[in-house]
Amino acid sequence: MPARPDTPSHPTELRQYALACLLLNDPAAKVAAVHAMHGAWLAGDLQLDEQAELATQGSIPGRPERPELVPPLAVGRRSMATSVGRGMLIHALSHIEFNAINLALDALWRFAAMPAEYYVDWLRVANEEASHFHLLASHLQQLGYAYGDFPAHDSLWEMVDRTRGDVMARMALVPRTLEARGLDAIPPLRAKLAQAGDQAAAAILDIILRDEVGHVEIGNRWFSHLCLQRGLELRPTYAELAQRHRAPTPRGPFNIEARLRAGFTQEELQALTAGNPHQT
C-alpha cells in the first residue's frame, strides 16, 4: 500500500479538510495542516457542508510508526528526579496532545447534521491541540529527546473509536470524561515539574489547562444539546452510555473549580466526589 501523502490536498470544504488532516502520518505536517485549515476558515476560504455524509477508505488516525503503542501499565515509571524521567513525562503528555488533535479532527469530519457552531467549536479545539503538541514536542527536543523515543498507550483513541457511531456518546465519553480527567491531573503534574526545576514545562501546562477547560466545556455543551434534542435526561443518559462503552471510573482528587468552569453542575460534581461518577 502506498504511503499517505504528508500534506493534504487542501480541500475547499471544512470537514473534508479535517479528514485530510486526520489522515496525515507525520506529526509536524499534521500540526502545520491544522493551523493552515484554521487560517483558511478564518479567512473565509472554506465552505461548510453540515449535511455531507463523508467516508474514508484509509485507516485512521494517521500517525507515525513510532511511538510503540503498549498497554498503559507497560509505559514505565516517570521519576522527576532524573532527566530521562522528565523526558518520559513530557513524551507522555505530547502523545496525549497528538491524540487530542486527532480526536478533534475526527469529531469535526465524522458527524453530519450538527449545527454549524459544532464544527467551528471542534476546529478551534483542533487548532489549540496542535499548538499544545508543538509546544510539548519542542520542549521534548530541548530535553534531548523526540516524539516517538518512548512507548505510549492509546487509551484515549480507543474511546474515540468505540464512540464513532454516535455523536452523543462521543461528547459524553471523550471530552466530558477522558479529557476532563486532564483538568484533575494537570495541576499536580505542573507542581512536580516546577519542583524539579522545569519552569518551561510548567508554563506549557498552564496554557494547556486554560485551553482544556474550554474543550471540556464544548463537550458538556454539545452533550446537553443532544440530550435536549433527543428528549433525554442528562444524568441517566450519561450513566447508560458510560456503562455501554466501558468508560473508566474517574478517581479523585478532582479539580472542582476547573470542572465548574467547564460546565459541570454542582449536582454532577457532588455525585462525582461521593463516589458515584457514572451518575454525572
Whole-model pTM?
A: 0.93
Backbone angles phi, psi at 152, to 5 degrees: -150, 160
Task: Return the higher-pLDDT residue of 6 and 170.
Answer: 170
Contacts of 253 (CB under 8 A, 6+ apart): 184
| Distance separating the N- and C-terminal Cα atoms of the chain | 45
Cell numbers representing residue 256 in the block: 472542582
The hierarchical CATH code for the domain 14-53+75-279 is: 1.20.1260
Calculate the CA 229 to chain-centre distance: 25
User: How do residues 121-175 score in pLDDT, each as one tens digit?
Assistant: 999 999 999 999 999 999 999 999 999 999 998 888 999 999 999 999 999 999 9
**pLDDT for res 16:** 96
Q: What is the DSSP letter of 178?
A: I
Residue type, 69: L
Residue 195 predicted with pLDDT over 50? yes
Look-up of cell digits 504511503: 3
Residue 205 predicted with pLDDT over 70? yes
Distance in angstroms (rounded) separating the CA atoms of residues 19 and 15: 6
Cell numbers representing residue 14 in the block: 471544512
